[in-house]
Amino acid sequence: MITVKTLYETDFNLWLEETAILLKKGELDQLDIENLLEEIEGMSRKEKDALESNLIRVIQHLLKWHYQPQKRSPSWSYTIIEHSRRLNKAFKNSPSLKPYFDAVFNECYNEACKAAAVETQLPLTTFPESCPFTKSDILDVNVDDYLIN
């Protein structure tokens, strides 16, 4: 007999479907609680990882935009706009991520500086020690500001 716990190891999608059915039926004693908790905690980590990744990308491209204006490209514009959009969507879907955004902001800025230094080939010391962009600069992106004339 295949149990829900066995499905977790052999067919993850079927495990998800069976878990949903058990939850809907209220058959909580049949649930694979250990793996269910692990998956729920993992979902939270994924949301936070995505937030960090998007924040780093926006700041990285803002740095490139401001420190190498002669190399601006539509690709940079799109990256700034798209990753800002993703951050705003994350906050719309999960407002509780905003304090996490604040908590990791400086760390993400440091990572963005490293990435921008590699891509621009500018010394890391080119970029300020603290982020020159406000949170509004990152979250309230005006498309018109990133059109290349």
- The tens-digit pLDDT sequence of the chain (149 residues) is 567 778 898 999 999 999 999 999 999 999 999 999 999 999 989 999 999 999 999 999 999 999 999 999 999 999 999 999 999 999 999 999 999 999 999 999 999 999 999 999 999 999 999 999 999 999 999 999 999 87
* Long-range CB contacts for residues 9-15, cutoff 8 Å, separation at least 24: none
The whole-number pLDDT of residue 1 equals: 56
Sign of CA dihedral 131, 132, 136, 140: negative
For 17, other C-beta atoms within 10 Å of its C-beta total: 12
The whole-number pLDDT of residue 134 equals: 96
Q: How far apart are CA 61 and CA 58, in angstroms?
A: 5
Cα distances from 50 to residues 3, 7, 26, 109, in angstroms, run 33, 28, 32, 15
In Å, how far from its chain's centre is CA 80?
Answer: 13
The whole-number pLDDT of residue 118 equals: 98
C-alpha R_g of the chain:
21
